[in-house]
Structure 1
Amino acid sequence: MSRKKLRAVIVGYGKMGQIRHTAMDQHGGYELIGICETGPLKSSVPVTKDLDSLLELRPDVLFCCAPNRFIPGVVCRSLDDGLHVFSEKPPGRNSQDVEHMRRAELRNPGLTLKFGFNHRYHDAIEDAKALIDSGTLGRLNFMRGVYGKAGGSDYDVNWRNNPEFSGGGILIDQGIHMLDLFHLFAGRFSDVKSFVERKYWTSVAVEDNAFALMRTDEGVVATLHSSATQWRHLFKLELYLQKGFVAVDGILSASGSYGTEVLSVAITRLDDNGFPLPNPELQEFRFLTDNSWSKEVNEFYDCVVNGNPVVHGTSQDAADVMALVEEIYRADPAHHSKIAATAGGLWNA
């Protein structure tokens, strides 16, 4: 039985636009009918340079893979034009951008709006969540997350480091994924401390390192280091619970530079007096295939065709994580004053 075909268009055909296109082709339920891209591009489907021309093709769904600055305008216009929308992260540059999109979502209750926080769909993350939710290891006490990379070529001139286009630096670009996972495992944070700094790229207007310490009302503490000067690419998420710990070391990515995705699990051993013994035995599970992109596209299709609610990447998820990003920026007064001045007040005082 053949699937219903959704007429799809993509705004922004860089790395992420191409990844989404591949996932749509693998799914089989999408027909790409147009692309909006300002750069040179050879394609078998029509390529336009403006959104109006793209919408004239009358698609069913739109994938927004544009820089942060343009996301709210594209998303709001597309929803108001009757399209279901899948948008990349970060969801704009700040909470105001997210609020604009949420208002457009409310104006169009029959449409789906989903944001691409694909790290939630990685097999190691899903298995870690299922294990913790089972209660086998008891309550969650604290988490540590490190997500870092080397800046890369042309780092200083990349649009991602222009606050007018991005809203910030490595924290909003990459660290936002780890923060979203923190929310997945622990919920929202009510107390935030931070140091947001330029350690190496001192001529760039935005941060290349962010150090944050957070706590929920329930007492779960989390620490984050988001870095563009982590010369060895690194993803590591550790979750320590009452009866053991769970860790995800490495994450499968398009670049392949973060290593094999490994889930480690340990249950504490107790001595004769009931005290935990150090270095419990580890079980390791290795994952060799990144299914996250396909899972996201599959869920989006199911929401559009069958009317099911978005599970991960809701507008509330986007609002929550953007609010946390802003709180981390604000928690370092020295950094906040600099970025607010440089970005023309993109972040609220």
Structure 2
Amino acid sequence: MSAPLRVAIAGCGLIGGKRAEALAADDVVVGTYDVVREAAERLGPAVDSYEALLALEPDVVVIATSHDQLSALGVQALEAGAHVLVEKPAGVSVAQVEALAAAAERTGKLVKVGFNHRFHPGLARVAEEVHSGRWGEVLHVRGRYGHGGRVGYDREWRAEPARSGGGELIDQGMHLIDLTHWILGPLPLHSALLRTQFWDTSVDDNAALLLGEANSRTAPWATLHVSWTEWKNLFSLEVYCRTAKFHVEGLVRSYGPQKLRIFAMKPELGPPDVEEIDYSPEDPSWQAEWANFSAAIAAGDESLIIGGLADARYAWQTVEAAYAAGGYDDMRAEVGG
């Protein structure tokens, strides 16, 4: 059992609220901070500044702010002696992720990046099956993820490059890139096609990536498409192994219930044997991710963290390469750090 943790939360919107709800029963929220004080007060004892939050000497600081604040606030928390759970994408550039990693190394504290999709039960089961080697090597992955935004989405902070770092490729694309990395390991960017077709903004509202070695006939590869013009929310990840296909659909709520289908091939091929698993309509990923980080803190063992700074660095390398290849250099020029 992990010891109770004293937790501070910076950024008390939707995701900060999910993090507060996911804490273990004996963990304590010792303080909260948000530029909207009423939001902070809903989650715990509110303070007037981030410095006042750190002065409470929490064991862990959860940082769920806009992307441009994540790295700098994380470095401050580490230097104040706290472990850090920082939401993805952990900054707005490779350089900002590396600044966090340097601070973690310097202070000896742990950093968890909020890649909660790894903790959805269907996706966790796929990773377990693939990594077991039971089904042979992975041939390729196909991922799709999208939503339709809402009225005024192009005027929210996610559409401001200086605050978000980019558009849909970061908003939902980071999750697909991370899941592909988890399953296949690091793949180079082969090509990228990005568009701003519907929303009146300088950031991308659609992105399609092809990952894999260009000069190999047999190496694994992946194709990913993320969209702010999906209109009906969608999540779909298909993983093709030599002797099976795994297909996860849904992320609960507006994305529909999560379902995993396993298609096990027969030696003679033909129609596969099919296993279907329907998961609870509730989302257990936030609690499971917090339990993982708590266990790593209790053990003092960074290797126990599922989804950390090295994973965020790979994702940002891929994103930066995709924006350069896709003609969004002017948009990235607005990004600091």
TM-score normalised by length of structure 1:
0.90
Is the counterpart of residue 86 in structure 1 residue 78 in structure 2? no
1:306 is aligned to 2:305: no
1:80-108 deviation per Cα after TM superposition (whole angstroms, max 9, x unaligned):
11111111111111111101111101111
Question: Could you report, residue by residue, the CA deviation over 1:91-126 in whole angstroms, capped at 9, with x for unpaired residues?
Answer: 1111111011111011112x1111110111111011
Q: Supply the AA of the counterpart residue of 1:179.
A: I
Q: Is 1:286 aligned to residue 278 of structure 2? A: yes
Q: The residue matched to 1:179 in structure 2 has which SS?
A: helix
C-alpha deviation, 1:171, in angstroms:
0.7
In the comparison of the two structures, how many residue pairs are matched? Answer: 330
Taking the aligned partners of 1:43 and 1:282, their CA distance within structure 2 comes to 46
Question: What aligned pairs does 1:37-56 form with structure 2 within 5 A after superposition?
Answer: 37-41=34-38, 42-43=41-42, 45-56=44-55
Aligned to 2:238: 238
Q: Distance in 1 between matches of 2:219 and 2:42?
A: 52
SS at structure 1 position matched to 2:256: coil
Residue of structure 1 in register with 2:317 after alignment: 323
Using structure 2 for the length normalisation, give the TM-score.
0.93
What is the SS of the residue equivalent to 2:254? coil
Q: 2:210 aligns with which of 206, 210, 213?
A: 213
Amino acid at match of 1:292: S
Unaligned runs of at least 5 residues, structure 2? none
Is it true that 1:106 corresponds to 2:100 in the alignment? no
Matches within 5 A, 1:36-185: 36-41=33-38, 42-43=41-42, 45-109=44-108, 111-185=109-183
Q: CA deviation at 1:13?
A: 0.3
Cα distance in structure 1, aligned partners of 2:240 and 2:70: 36
Distance 1:307 1:320 in 2: 24
Whole-angstrom distance in 2 between the partners of 1:192 and 1:339: 21
Deviation (angstroms), 1:161: 1.1
1:296 to 289, 310, 315: 289
Distance 1:44 1:128, change over 3 A: closer
CA distance in 1, matches of 2:43, 2:52: 17
- SS of the equivalent of 2:255 reads coil
Q: CA RMSD in A?
A: 1.8
| Distance change (3 Å), C-alpha of 1:225 and 1:45 | closer
Equivalent-residue separation in structure 2 for 1:153 and 1:192 (angstroms): 34
Matching residue of 1:4: 3
> Which residues of structure 1 form unaligned runs of 5+?
none
Q: Deviations over 1:110-153 (max 9, x none)?
A: x1111110111111011111222222321111110000000213
Equivalent-residue separation in structure 2 for 1:80 and 1:44 (angstroms): 24
2:260 to 257, 260, 263: 263
Percent pairwise identity: 31
Structure 2 distance, partners of 1:141, 1:5, is 43
Give the aligned partner of residue 35 of structure 1. Answer: 32
Q: Kindly provide the CA deviation profile for residues 52-78 of structure 1, in whole angstroms up to 9, marking residues without a partner as x.
A: 111121212110011100011110011
